[in-house]
Each structure stands twice: as C-alpha cells, then as structure tokens.
A and B are shown apart, each in its own frame.
Chain A
Amino acid sequence: MTGIVGLDEITGGGLPKGRPTLICGGTGCGKTLFSIEFIVHGAMLYGEPGVFMSFEEKAEELVLNVASLGYNLNQLQHDKLIRLDHVRIERSEIEETGEYDLDGLFIRLGHAIDSIGAKRVVLDTIENLFSGLLDQGILRAELRRLFEWLKAKKVTTIITGEKGDGTLTRQGLEEYISDCVILLDHRVANQISTRLLRIVKYRGSVHGTNEYPFLIDQSGISVLPVTSLTLTHNVTSERISSGIPSLDKMLEGKGFFRGSSILVSGTAGTGKTSIAASFAHEACNQKERCIYFAFEESPQQIIRNMRSIGFDMQQHIDNGLLRFHASRPTLNGLEMHLVSIHKLIEEFDPQLVILDPITNLITVGTVSEVKSMLIRLIDFLQSMQITVMFTALSLNTIVSEQTDEGVSSLVDAWLLVRDIESNGERNRGMYVMKSRGMKHSNQVREFVITDEGLHLVDVFLSPDGVLTGSAREAQQLQEATGKALRDYAVNRKDREIERKRLVLESKIASLKEEFESVQDELNKAYVEEELRKDVLEKNREQLIKSRHNEQ
C-alpha cells in the first residue's frame, strides 16, 4: 500500500511488495513528492520504515519542501522511521582512473536499510549517476546488480526517472525494472495544467489502464479515479424538501431523496439560482449544513437578490449553517476546483452542496473534462450521502434533451425551467424531466417568483393552448365571473320554483274546497231522499193502522 489517496484503488492494492517500481515523468510532475509520500505514509500509517536516497536534493531541502505538507521528516528521522541520505556527485571533483564499481552505494544503502530495518526504499533520481560518472557500461551493469540486490533484500523500492525522448526514462532504466512502471505526466491545455498518472505496466496485477488525473495540494498527492471503480454506495430513501411545497407535491409530495443529485437547467433568467437558493434555505431551516459554490455571483449579490424573494440567507451564515464559496472558474483548473470542493466539503461536512452554475466550468475545460470532473464529484458526494444540486444554463431556447455538460444521465433528478413566450410576455414553465425512483408528476407547472418565495401554479389548458402569466390570470378571472353568473342564475330558478309551488298549492286548496261543497250538495240530496222515504213510510203505516181501526 502506498497510502496515497486513490492510488491503491487503481493499482488494486498498492505497489508490488518487495520489488522495484519505476516512476517516470517530466520535470516538475511530482516524482519526488510521490516517492516522499510513499516513504512517509509507509512510516506513519503502515509501520514500515523507509530510506530515501536522494541524488538531487539535499536532505535539509527535502525536509523543508515537505514541511508544507505537514510532514516532519526530522522527527521521523529521529524516531528511526525514515532515513534521508543525500548522494552528492560532482562531476568536476571526480577523476576516473580505471575500473570501479558501485559498492560504495550498496554499502551505504545496505547500512541505511539495516540501521532502521527499512521495508521501503526510494532512489530519487538515480539517473543522476549517469551525469556524474562516465563509464556507462559499468553503470548499467551496476544498476542491474543494484536492483537485483534490492529485490533480494525484499524491500519495496521506488526508482524515479526523468522522461526521455521516445523512451520512458533517459537512460532506459525501464529495461531493468520490469515489475511496475508508473508514468506521471503534466499537461497544459488551454493554459490550464492537469497532472495525469498512468500505470504503464504492473506485472501480476489487474490495474486500471486509464490516465488518472492527480493533484498536488497542501495535503499532498491525491489520485482521483475518473470513475469510481465500484458503484456500491449506500442509498437512503429519506426525503428532503426542496423548499417549494408545490414542487414537493410534484415529487410524490415528499421532495427529493437524500444523497441524490439534482440538476436544474434552463435558459438565462429562468430562476435557477432562486431554486437553488430556496433549496439551500430550506435545508438550513431544517438545521442542516449547506455549502453554496457560486461560480458567477458573489455571495453578497446572492444574499441581496434572495432577500428580494423572501429568503434571508444571512441568518444562516451567521448561524454557521450556510457557507458560500465564490470563485471565478478561470481562477484555477478543473482539477483544482475539484480539490477545493473536496476540501471544503470534508472540512464543513454539509448535507447539501450547491454548484451554481456548472456551465461556467466549461470555460476552463473541455466538455468531456467537465463531465469527468462532475462524475467524480457526484461519486464522491454520493458516497458521503450528500445531496447535490447543480444548475446549468442551456443556451438555446429550444428544449434540448441533453445538457451542455452531458450530465443529465448522471443525475438522479432533473428539473427543467423554461421560458414560455406568448401574448407578448415571457413566463416560466417547469417540468420534472426525470426523477429516479419516484412517481413524479408529468405536468408542466408555471413557476412564479413572488415576494414570499417561489410557487408553482397549474397551467391552464384551453383550446388556445397552454395559458400562462396574465393569460392564465385572465382565464382565471373569466372563470370566476362565469361562476358568479351561474350561481345567480341558479338562485333565480330556485326562487321561481318556490313561487310556482306556492301558486299550485293555493290552487290545490281551492279545488279541495270546491270538492267539499259539491260533496255537501250531493249529501244534501241524499239526506232529503232518506227523509222523504222515512216520511212516506210513516204515512203508509199510519194509513194502514187507521184502516184496521175502522174495521
């Protein structure tokens, strides 16, 4: 294991143990630093003491150079964990008078190794011997012997070599060291430099063959695999609100997944920054920490602008929940941006990261470089369970299905804010283009920025098409009027019915009276008939009786 961030991943476990490794590259590409880290990490992290034999820099210079990385070589030397040895060869002082060998070097190295029980050895840069000594034949034979001897001693060795024309090293050292060869490169494109590392050869190991960018900063070298070798980060189904309730509603009413990556793209002036600020504001309200990387506006500008739509960002800054980091993209190369982002994130440990806008990064790199940087950033953030929101400016007004950076396939959620121009005004429409793992709304919403924040409003679909802005408001007004009219009409009808009922009811009452009088009339005739009948009967009986009495 080298202990160099990322390298052990690429090599599948570090450098070959007990064997020599050649690190070659041009001037200033970090060979010495690389080997120093190898020694120091070995001593500090893995308990493997190391010998650093320098053919270039003096021991004191080395100590000074790496002190800026926080390594105290003097202390380590004192603790017998490392040993620095400066080999000085002055051509002018030396006269060759016949046959010789490099036994002195062997003895010296052997002594250094034995005195601290070293497991690691660095020879930096052994090719300097070639400039100090003339007899190439002897040197080559002796170097071959040296490497064999180091192998026999079972120390893991790094040999550095300057890159030559057409060959990996000037003196063809790669001929002797055939176990592992790592090539460092330093390339400048568009005035911005990128350091690259490639494993040319590694016997008996499955290693990444790509060129991997690496960085040298205050904490030393870190190699960043272009893509994470494994896609196995944990995921959570926890949701976080976007700060816009109506947007949350479009996302199953719960918002985004924690640890997901969100892209907000849109044309200029569609409110991307406002969405991002809203998200940050909401996160801070939930007492979560947030870093806002601004590549376009200064923090004060953003704070002022967001105050106009009702977000007080300043209070979160004062509470230590929010941090702004504003820098021009041209300030440094992409890799340095990535490093500074990494560092700040590790320092601040936020739950939310915002990059606004990523489109500006294109000014310092090509599309594929920006993409590879973003992939690495997303990988890193996802492994840390940090939610990230990017904003991206799309330059054309036509909805492109692909963002400029080609990151749309990487992100988990993609919001598209778009201008809808009609009836002499521009309005903002918002779509959820994609949102992995949830049933998101497929509706276009109108995106309204008010003094109190951001809202999404249902757009009106009319025979004339989608209505937004004042057209929508007019439509709403029209509908409201229509409703009032309808209500009035309904009321009138109700009253009419009531009246009709009353009329009919009175009619029914009079008919009933009429019926009763007819009935009475009929009854009267009937009673009279009865009475007459009775009287007749009585009269007949009387007549009969009187007849009988007469007899």
Chain B
Amino acid sequence: MIEQLTTPDINSDGDGQKFELRLFVTGASINSIRAIANLKHICETYLAGNYSLEIIDVYQQRMLAESEQIIALPLLIKKMPLPQRRLIGDMSDTEKVLKGLGITHTS
C-alpha cells in the first residue's frame, strides 16, 4: 500500500529519486539478450533520463551470485528507490515489469 502511495509521488515530482537498476544476466543466453533489450526499451519509454542501469554477467562475477541471493536469471534488482524489488524473467511482460518497478502505467 505504502509503495503504491509513495511511488507516484516520486514520479509526479519528475526529478525525485533516480532509478538505480541492476540487471544480472548469464552471458549471451537467449533470455539474457531478450531481457536486456526489453528492459532498455521499458526504461527509455518510461524512465527516460531518470535511471542508471548496470548490467552484470554473473559468469564473470560468480561471487555475486551468493551475496546477491541470485537463483533465477535473468534478474533485475531495483536498488533505488526503496523498497528493493526483484524481477526475474526476460522482461517481456511490460505490465509486470512496470508494476515491479513501481511505475504507474498512466504516466
């Protein structure tokens, strides 16, 4: 409830908190490529200029798998704004991605 109340506020302010996103992928697997493409598209559409996206290949940094509690991939972690959310999958379901990121569709 709180989430839904606060996020539109940030959004309506326009230059509220920046979205800090981290996408974990596994090399060049189909899911990963799709996830990167889909996410970039969503970000450009709905968060243009108001986000930072870090794409991490877990194969390259295997230690992260444990510290970040990674199980399913691809995984998108929304670090900021709080609360932290995790999204898995190839980000093809735009509705769900937006809901997960706390972005109201209307904007």
Contact = CB atoms under 8 A, between A and B. Distances in A.
B28 interface: no
Contacts of B31: 98-101
11 contacts: A95-B85, A97-B87, A97-B89, A97-B100, A98-B34, A102-B73, A103-B26, A103-B72, A104-B70, A105-B70, A108-B71
B99 interface: yes
A54 to B, nearest CB: 12
Contacts of B91: 97-98
Interface in A97-151: 97-105, 107-108, 110-112, 129, 132-133
Interface stretch (A81-89, A155-163, A260-268): A81-89
Interface string B66-78: 1001111111100
Contacts of A110: 62
B58 A97 contact: no
A87 B71 contact: yes
B59 A104 contact: no
A96 interface: yes
A85 B87 CA distance: 22
Contacts of B100: 95, 97
Interface string B51-91: 00000001100110110011111111000000011111111
Main secondary structure of the interface of A (DSSP, over half): mixed
A478 B86 CA distance: 104
Nearest to B93: A97
Contacts of B69: 87-88
B88 A100 contact: yes
Given A102-B73, A133-B72, A107 B92 contact: no
A111 B92 contact: no
Interface residues on B, range: 35 or more
Interface of B: 24, 26, 29, 31, 34-35, 38, 58-59, 62-63, 65-66, 69-76, 84-93, 96-97, 99-100
A111 B73 CA distance: 16
Given A87-B69, A89-B71, A133-B72, A98 B86 contact: no
Main DSSP-derived SS at the B contact region = mixed
Given A101-B72, A102-B72, A107 B26 contact: yes
A403 B91 CA distance: 74
Interface centre among A99, A102, A110 (most CB of B within 10 A): A99
A94 interface: yes
Interface residues of A, number: 25
Contacts, number: 104
Contacts of B76: 97
Given A100-B88, A101-B29, A111-B62, 10 more contacts: A94-B86, A95-B96, A95-B100, A97-B76, A98-B92, A101-B72, A103-B26, A103-B72, A111-B63, A132-B71
Given A100-B72, A103-B58, A104-B58, A95 B86 contact: yes
Contacts of A96: 87-89, 93, 96
A375 B58 CA distance: 57
A93 interface: yes
A129 B58 CA distance: 20
A129 to B, nearest CB: 7
Given A107-B70, A111-B66, A94 B87 contact: yes
Given A103-B26, A129-B71, A95 B99 contact: yes
Given A107-B65, A129-B71, A100 B89 contact: yes
Contacts of A132: 71
A110 B24 CA distance: 17
Contacts of B34: 98-99
Contact of A104 (B38, B72, B96, B99): B72
A134 to B, nearest CB: 10
A99 B74 CA distance: 9
